[in-house]
Amino acid sequence: MVANDEELYRRVPRRVGASDCFKIEPSGRVVFTVAAFLDRHKRPSVDRARLRGGNPNATRLSSDDGVTGFTTEAVRAIGKIQKRDPAGNVVSEHAVDVVCAPVPGNEAHAEIVLLPDVGGMAFERLKEALARLATERGWIVVPGTDMPAAA
């Protein structure tokens, strides 16, 4: 079980395929795009900060990656994601949760999931909500540096 008060780290590359994962506004504010939360299994990966020893750099695959994050509570507070039919009628509702999903070499690995599992527009809405959370938080580690972002 991932506790509500746990900080989660999300690795963000500059691009995924042809899509930018973030944009920098003229003011310097970073705005994350849905591309930052793409996942072929529709279960975006995060690392549990306390199992990474509070070291966000451990989440990166390269120094060009940045790290953003949010709490498990904020993810769960996204609430219900609705799936609608073409007429706009709600056909199902899906809770948002964070589940433990350790992988070899990374015991901190977890996934953000929709319960019950679903794809399509519901997953698009989840990515939009995660991009908003990340934009509110900003960088924990700025891409191309090993330094924490300024508060």
Would you list the domain boundaries of the chain? Answer: 7-140
Q: Across the strands, what pairs with 135?
A: none
Inter-residue contact 137 to 56 (CB < 8 Å): no
pLDDT at 115 (0 to 100): 92
The tens digit of pLDDT for each residue in 4-17 reads 999 999 999 999 98
Model confidence, pTM: 0.92
Query: What is the average per-residue pLDDT within 88-117?
Result: 94
Say which residue, 119 or 131, is predicted with more confidence.
131
5: its two tokens: 């008060």
